[in-house]
Every structure is written in C-alpha cells, then in structure tokens.
Amino acid sequence: MNHGRFLRWLALVTIAVDLVAGWLAFLFERGYPNEFHTYWAALFWTTTQLLTVSSQLQNPDSTAAHILDVVMQVLAISIVTSIAGSWAAFFHHRRHPRPAAPTAASHEITSQGETVHRDGQSH
C-alpha cells in the first residue's frame, strides 16, 4: 500500500471509529451526572480525545465510558505513530530510491544457462 492510500485509509477508519465511539459514549453516559445531552456533545468529546489525548472536558462517569476513553487514547497514539512512520518511510524512500530492476533488454541467457549482461559481464 502506498503512503497516500494508507493515509486515506487511516483517515476513513479514524472518522468511522470516532462516529461510532461518539454514539457509544452518548449511550454509556446516559443517566450519569456528566451525561452528554446530545450526540454532538459526545462526538465532540470523542474527537477531542482522539486529537489531544486529553481535554478540559468533564471525564465520563460510567465504567463503560472509562474503558472507551482508554481505547480512544490508545487509538490516538497508534494513529499519530502510524502517520509519523508513514511520513518517515516516504522521505526515506525519496532519499534512497530503490535500484531499478533489470529488464529483459539488459541481459540475455546463453545456451549454458549463464546470464550475460549487455555490458559484457557474466553471472
């Protein structure tokens, strides 16, 4: 998978996880003192958890939301390190390009099975 495709895939997965986590947070916190009154409030909380690995918002009260919070934090760290690794690999490959693969026109095989390159070297 190339870098651009990987980053698009990562963005789509992150958005999907955020939307589902917002819904879960909304359900988990119902009836607790710091409940989210709307889905958008829960989505805002999950998005800030993904983006900052911390927030100034009230922490959830339910055990299920606490577990969701930890999962979101681990996911946030994984996303950031995946993006950093993808960028590092992209720039590494730009600095150190792969050698070109030999083409059929650059060598021929003799009747003894020996490969002879057009430059006269045999292997």
The predicted-structure confidence for 33-87, as pLDDT tens digits, reads as follows 888 999 999 999 898 888 876 666 777 888 998 888 888 888 888 888 888 887 7
Residue by residue, what is the 3-state secondary structure of the chain?
A: CCHHHHHHHHHHHHHHHHHHHHHHHHHHCCCCCCCCCCHHHHHHHHHHHHHHCCCCCCCCCCHHHHHHHHHHHHHHHHHHHHHHHHHHHHHHHHHCCCCCCCCHHHEEECCCCCEEECCCCEC
Give the count of domains, the chain: 1
Identify the pLDDT of residue 18: 93
Q: What angle do CA 12, 43, 18 make, to 5 degrees?
A: 25
pTM to 2 decimals? Answer: 0.63
Q: What is the CATH number of the domain that holds 10?
A: 1.10.287.70
Residues 86/3, Cβ–Cβ less than 8 Å: yes
Q: Is residue 123 part of a domain?
A: no
Q: Mean pLDDT of all residues in the chain?
A: 79
**Is residue 38 situated within a structural domain?**
yes
At residue 30 the predicted structure's pLDDT band, cuts being 50, 70 and 90, is: very high
What pLDDT was estimated at residue 1?
60
**From the CB of residue 65, how many other CB atoms can be counted at a distance below 10 Å?**
25
- Which is more confident, 5 or 99? 5
Q: For residue 122, is it within any domain?
A: no
Domain that holds residue 47: 3-117
Higher pLDDT, 104 or 73: 73
Has residue 62 been placed in a domain? Answer: yes
> Alpha carbon 53 to chain centroid distance?
16
Please indicate, yes or no, if residue 82 is contained in any of the structural domains: yes
Alpha-carbon distance of 11 to 121, in angstroms, equals: 49
The top-scoring range by mean pLDDT among 16-30, 60-74, 102-116 is 16-30
Instruction: Kindly indicate the confidence band of residue 89, based on its pLDDT and cuts at 50, 70 and 90.
Output: confident
Instruction: Look at residue 60 and tell me if it is in a domain.
Output: yes
The mean pLDDT value for 89-97 works out to 69
Sequence letter at residue 17: V
Note whether residue 109 is domain-resident. Answer: yes
